[in-house]
Amino acid sequence: MRTLPVQILAADRPSIRRPGTVWPPNVRFSAVRTPSHMAGILLAILIATVATCRPAQAGLSSENVVVVVNGDSPVSRTVANHYIAFRDIPTHNVIVLREVPEGTRVELAVFRDKILRPLLEQIDARGIANQVRVIAYSADFPTAVGVAEHHAQIEDPNVKKYQKPIAAITGLTFFYKFVLADKGDYLNFGSNLYARGRFDRHFINPFSDDSKEQYDKAVTLLKEEKFAESAEIWQQLVDAHESLPALAIRAAEAYSLSEQDVKAVEMIRAAIKRGWWSATYLKQTACLDRLLSDSQLAKVLPYLDESPIAWQGPEPFSSSVGWNLAGHRMPLKQGGVPYLCSCALAVVEPRGNTLDQAVEVLRRASRCDRTFPAGRFAFGANGDVRAKTRFAGIADAMVYLQENQFETEVFSDRLPDDEGAIVGMMVGAPNVTLSPSRWQLVPGAIAENLTSFGGAFEQNGQTKLTEFLEAGAVMSSGSVAEPYSLQVKFPTPMMYGYYAKGLSAIEAYYQSVMSPYQLLIVGDPLAQPFSKAPNELVDIRLLTDGKKRLRLSRKSLQINVPNTPTRSIEISIDGRLFRTTPPVPNIELNLPEDSSGVMEVRATLAGANRTEPRVSFSEQVDIQGKHPTPTAEIKTARTDDGGDGTEASAIDLELICPGADRIEVHHLNEVLGQIDGDQGMLEIQTERLGGGPLRLRPVAFFGDTRVLGKTAVDQGHSPAVEP
């Protein structure tokens, strides 16, 4: 295979607007005494995370996913209805688009104007841009986008030859900033700066401004053994760039080599606070290892990562910051490049999955979180160029997995020969037969294949990615056009290591593909069977003694799985992020005097782990305000809906809200009907709403005042599956 030069992205970086929230209740933290046996743990967390300059703005849970629905497709609505229920996606995060282009392929202008721009405008209008990290397309969207205009911008003939002018809808959404700016720089081989590289990438010069010369000078002085002078420059860079932990590591090395141990220790601590997780590097670097006996460092060191350092470690995804050449988070105003993870929930096509299969994939995935399935990671290493392309990374991935106590296997045929459970499977073959087999993909497994047309559903030939989903995978991928056998266009073997370390499936994918523009990624983005999320739940309730308020209380979940302590708590009200708080046991929210109706309150616990694992809990709470709360009761549910809802009968709802001028019924932010007055029956025609659970929420109006009620759910049809 021909080796091609890797070009690092340099593009205009327009910033995304991050609207704030509008509902400002007061927050009060209740006092609590810390048990003595937790003191050491909390001290370490304080050093490593709570006091960090890097806020908990990464990782994935339900409120971080926007589900995009083709409103004219019952199949798209059905897949979305099920997924929203499986994953408790906030209704505010569901965007229904009309007049979505038909077919498997559209051109760039159509994609931008009919799909991408409308959904981003909705995200901004709803005030959820600061929490959205994943765009998940339901079924019945185009899977490929022609990008000839951007391809014409390529000047390097090597790049132009191997980067074809056809992109996947998911890859192009990931590079949304470049699409909106009409820049084709995402076609470069190294355009995904979020992807992990070799470990020494931590220490490349990440700057393009005046700091670039400072960085180079500090490196030169270090090589010339002018350690004290080098340390001074590193210190200046550390002070100017609080988000870059590798700068503090370099400063620590220079200070140590110049025998300024106190400052060296200070810089190690600064690096940890800014997001440095590798204990292995600290121990294997002589000038740093000798400092690790410092009392505070000794306490935090056990909580850092002991994994091998051939490759950069896992990094949870954030869309509220950008990424630099070294793969680190960098503020947008300092030149960080932003992205949005993207996938399709399903491909329901003649050459893809059936509707029932698609729903079952998502159901199975929703049950896999924190199950820590037993099984092996299997890597294909046959003589086909499709397998040989990824040979170089297999050994590093296997060592990484084995050091983290996972079983690995290399198979020399197209598929594994040995029986038993498989958690991850990397294949390199044009065609494979996945069933029957002696092995099984366990719930939570990811599996994918390096071949030319695994995501090209408009043509026959080659195994489609959907066959891996049908076989048991929760996520898979395939190219929508000829990618050539280039590693940068497919996941590295390290994807499986990042997944096993606790990242979600979608994060593990984008961590491992340097040029993902052609890669169609399909499945459940939230699947995370190895997540070490906090072993707690949040009880949400209304208190009416004295001033009316909400209380959120953390309680032990008492499940025996690996976990990490809570680092922070994110609170959302009616779909919008309201506040992030320290991990206190109880939080009380004073309610505005004039509030009425039902509020949807969501609490998300972020864990103190390098993958920033998250778990969220939501509750609809009637705050018993001055206006009555509307109610919706299903009197007649749907029958015989045929799976996609097109043959479903109507739903009869009884709506009541004393004193209301009118009552509407909403589903996925769409008005389905209304009654005038404060009580009555409403017949909802459902044949265009899709199969699966329908969320029917009453909204009462008292003049200009809008009051929400609790959601009534019509469960609808569920495909028959084995329990």
State the chain's mean pLDDT as an integer.
91
- Asked if residue 669 has pLDDT above 90, the reply is yes
Q: Is 680 left (phi over 0), alpha (psi -120 to 50) or beta?
A: left
* 666, two tokens: 């909403």
Task: List, in order, residues 6 or more apart from 75 with CB less than 8 Å away.
Answer: 139, 140, 348, 355, 644, 690
**436: cis peptide before it, omega within 30°?**
yes
Q: What is the pLDDT of residue 51?
A: 36
CB atoms under 10 Å from CB of 42, counted, come to 15
Q: What is the pLDDT of residue 717?
A: 63
- Residues forming a β-bridge with 323: 329, 337
CB 14 within 8 A of CB 335: no
Q: What is the pLDDT of residue 718?
A: 55
Q: What is the pLDDT of residue 594?
A: 87
CB atoms under 10 Å from CB of 702, counted, come to 17
**396 pLDDT tier (thresholds 50, 70, 90):** very high
CATH 1.25.40 fits 199-303, yes or no: yes
Alpha-carbon distance 379 to 397, whole Å? 10
Q: Which of 129, 17, 67, 63 is nearest to 342 (CA)?
A: 67
Burial string for 468-501 (b: 16+ CB within 10 Å, else e) reads bbbbbbbbbbbbbbebbbbbbbbbbbbbbbbbbb
Chain CA centroid to CA 560, Å: 25
- Asked if residue 41 has pLDDT above 60, the reply is no
Mean pLDDT of 358-368: 98
Task: List, in order, residues 6 or more apart from 33 with CB less than 8 Å away.
Answer: none
Share above pLDDT 70 across residues of the chain, in percent, rounded to a whole number: 91
Alpha-carbon distance 512 to 489, whole Å? 9
Q: Is 716 left (phi over 0), alpha (psi -120 to 50) or beta?
A: left
- The CATH code of the domain at 631-714 is 2.60.40.10
Q: Is 99 left (phi over 0), alpha (psi -120 to 50) or beta?
A: left
Task: List, in order, residues 6 or more apart from 571 with CB less than 8 Å away.
Answer: 27, 552, 577, 578, 579, 580, 581, 587, 589, 601, 602, 603, 604
Mean pLDDT of 509-534: 98
DSSP 3-state of 569: strand
Angle (deg, nearest 10), helices 261-273 and 245-257: 170
Tokens 């096993």, located at residue: 500
Mean pLDDT of 461-490: 97
Q: What is the pLDDT of residue 36?
A: 34
CB 562 within 8 A of CB 531: no
CATH 1.10.150 fits 26-46+531-619, yes or no: no
Query: SS3 for 19-73, per residue?
Result: CCCCCCCEEEECCCCCCHHHHHHHHHHHHHHHCCCCCCCCCCCHHHEEEEEECCC
Q: Is 600 left (phi over 0), alpha (psi -120 to 50) or beta?
A: beta
Residues 226-260: pLDDT tens digits?
Answer: 999 999 999 999 999 999 999 999 999 999 999 99
For the chain, the residue count is: 723
Mean pLDDT of 346-370: 97
* 196, two tokens: 């992990």
Equal fold, 199-303 vs 631-714: no
* 116, two tokens: 């991408």
- Asked if residue 722 has pLDDT above 80, the reply is no
Q: What angle (nearest 5°) sits at the alpha carbon of residue 645, between those of residues 173 and 362?
A: 45
Q: What is the pLDDT of residue 421?
A: 97
**593 pLDDT tier (thresholds 50, 70, 90):** confident
Radius of gyration of the chain (CA): 26
Alpha-carbon distance 591 to 594, whole Å? 8
Strands 376-380 and 407-411: parallel
Q: What is the pLDDT of residue 477?
A: 98
Q: What is the pLDDT of residue 461?
A: 86
CB 285 within 8 A of CB 374: no
CB atoms under 10 Å from CB of 266, counted, come to 18
Alpha-carbon distance 294 to 16, whole Å? 42
Q: What angle (nearest 5°) sits at the alpha carbon of residue 111, between those of residues 107 and 114?
A: 130
Mean pLDDT of 118-134: 97
Mean pLDDT of 557-562: 90
Task: List, in order, residues 6 or more apart from 688 with CB less than 8 Å away.
Answer: 74, 77, 645
Q: What is the pLDDT of residue 547?
A: 87
**Which residue ranges make up each domain of the chain?**
26-46+531-619, 199-303, 631-714
CA distances from 396 to 182, 310, 401, 432, 669 (A): 38, 7, 9, 26, 47
**301 pLDDT tier (thresholds 50, 70, 90):** very high
Mean pLDDT of 94-111: 97
CB 103 within 8 A of CB 141: no
- Asked if residue 45 has pLDDT above 70, the reply is no
Alpha-carbon distance 425 to 441, whole Å? 8
Tokens 């209704």, located at residue: 91
Mean pLDDT of 603-631: 96
**156 pLDDT tier (thresholds 50, 70, 90):** very high
Mean pLDDT of 559-577: 95
CB atoms under 10 Å from CB of 592, counted, come to 13
Mean pLDDT of 264-270: 98
Q: What's the pTM value of the predicted model, to 2 decimals?
A: 0.92
